[in-house]
Structure 1
Amino acid sequence: MGERLNWLRAGVLGANDGVVSTAGLVVGVAGATDNRGALLTAGLAGLLAGSMSMAAGEYVSVSTQRDTTKAALALERRELREQPEEELEELTGLLQERGLDREVAREAARQFTERDALRAHASVELGINPDELVNPWHAAWASFLAFTVGALLPLLAIVLPPTAWRLLVTVASVLITLALTGWSSARLGAAAIRPAVVRNVAGGALAMAVTYAVGSLLGAAGV
């Protein structure tokens, strides 16, 4: 259940990144030009660049974490094979640190070792579940899809409405979405909702205001 919540929260945050970064980009371009083709090109470029970057970054990060975990498990497996008594004593000590007295800890360590020594040490000593190593490809695809879904909202909002309504529709839809993703991430993380929503909305509004101002200045200068 906890692992699923972590994935859901990561998906919400990935979508949030897609909304903010793409909204900042297309609103900035909208400050310089109202050409639909230019807005679509900029939005698609931002969507693809952002989603690929998120996927690559997540793949590298999770691969490194997975390799580190596998190395730790391999070391523990070797130590269990080469020095079982020392490992049994180590597990006993760790269980004592968790509140068991010496005799109970020793007996529990012995039973854990007989049942599955590697799993016992991985769980108690390393805090690892050997059956739940994260797949880097799954993480990469999840990040790619989450960012893409988030980025589609400001992209469609800036190119579909009539010229006079583009900016208003985009800003309104983005701020509403940021309020929802802020609320969702707070709920999933068991955090205070109002600060999360305010931070999310304020950050998105600031990003769009800054990029629109820069785009307007560059458009006025004919750059």
Structure 2
Amino acid sequence: MTAITDGNPHAHPDEPHSGSLTSRLNWLRAGVLGANDGIVSTAGIVVGVAAASTERGPIFTAGVAALAAGAISMALGEYVSVSSQRDTERALLAKERRELREDPAAELAELAGLYEAKGLSATTAHQVAAELTAHDALTAHAEAELHLDPTELTNPWHAAFSSAVAFTVGALLPLIAVLLPAASWRIPVVFGTVLLALALTGALGAALGGARPGRPTLRVVLGGAIAMAVTYGIGALVGTAIG
């Protein structure tokens, strides 16, 4: 309820007053996390294979397989998760429509009670509830009771596509980094490129979340470094055992 909770939406233009802006920021943060997953998982696999073999063919095959499998897995996971969330949102809205149709007086009193609990006087709360109900009863109740905007429900296809694209973009970085240099430089180049990319995405994710970049960035970089070190060690051991 912009008129009640936000005051003048132009007073602080840098703050996300609108639900649509907040939603876009959430999607952007999810994209950054998806890219991080693509960077770390693909880097771990190509580094592990590169530790066991200097041939470009196996490294390329493993990297492409990791990219494809990861992107599909991310897309399917997001689709299933967001579909379940959307089903829940639709069920809640259907229930709210039924209650508004069957007992509008009780629903009006409930809405007024919600605003009164937020600090409005009983008279003002009732007036606000009545005016909002007259304007758009479902939206008023959905926002106050369910914290939902009926016009902006989550979209599983958007989530699946965004996750797949973000993962793919992230995965391409270590894949390219491991294929371009000579064999003796592959591991150092991948480590350096991946850690730099993780530092940038970690800082971006922290900025989008409104947090200081230091600790979040350090966590992401350390996690990526540990993942590559472990897979490199495993690849070297397996390569030595097989060889």
Residue deviations 1:123-178 (CA, integer Å, cap 9, x gap)? 01110000111211111000000000000000111112111111111110000000
State the distance in 2 between where 1:143 and 1:204 align.
19
Q: Which runs of 5+ in 2 are unaligned?
A: 1-20
Q: Which runs of 5+ in 1 are unaligned?
A: none
Q: Which amino acid counterpart does residue 49 of structure 1 have in structure 2?
A: A
State the distance in 2 between where 1:163 and 1:29 align.
12
Residue deviations 1:41-66 (CA, integer Å, cap 9, x gap)? 00000000000000000001111111
Q: Which amino acid counterpart does residue 18 of structure 1 have in structure 2?
A: G
1:155 aligns with 2:194: no
Residue deviations 1:69-128 (CA, integer Å, cap 9, x gap)? 010000000000001111011011111011111111111111111111100000011100
| TM-score, scaled to structure 1 | 0.98
Deviation larger for 38-47 or 159-168: 159-168
1:196 aligns with 2:240: no
Give the RMSD, CA atoms, in angstroms.
Answer: 0.8
Q: What's the secondary structure of 2:242's corresponding residue?
A: coil
Q: Which amino acid counterpart does residue 55 of structure 1 have in structure 2?
A: A
Instruction: Name the residue aligned to 2:198.
Output: 178
1:51 aligns with 2:71: yes
| 2:60 aligned residue (40, 48, 51) | 40
Instruction: Name the residue aligned to 1:126.
Output: 146
Instruction: Name the residue aligned to 2:85.
Output: 65
Q: Which amino acid counterpart does residue 160 of structure 2 have in structure 1?
A: A
Higher relative contact order, structure no. (Cα contacts within 8 Å, ≥ 6 residues apart): 1
| 2:43 aligned residue (15, 19, 23) | 23
| 2:108 aligned residue (67, 70, 88) | 88
Deviation larger for 51-60 or 161-170: 161-170
1:164 aligns with 2:176: no
Q: Which amino acid counterpart does residue 105 of structure 2 have in structure 1?
A: E
Pairs aligned (count): 223
Q: Which amino acid counterpart does residue 96 of structure 2 have in structure 1?
A: E
**Matched-pair identity in %:** 59
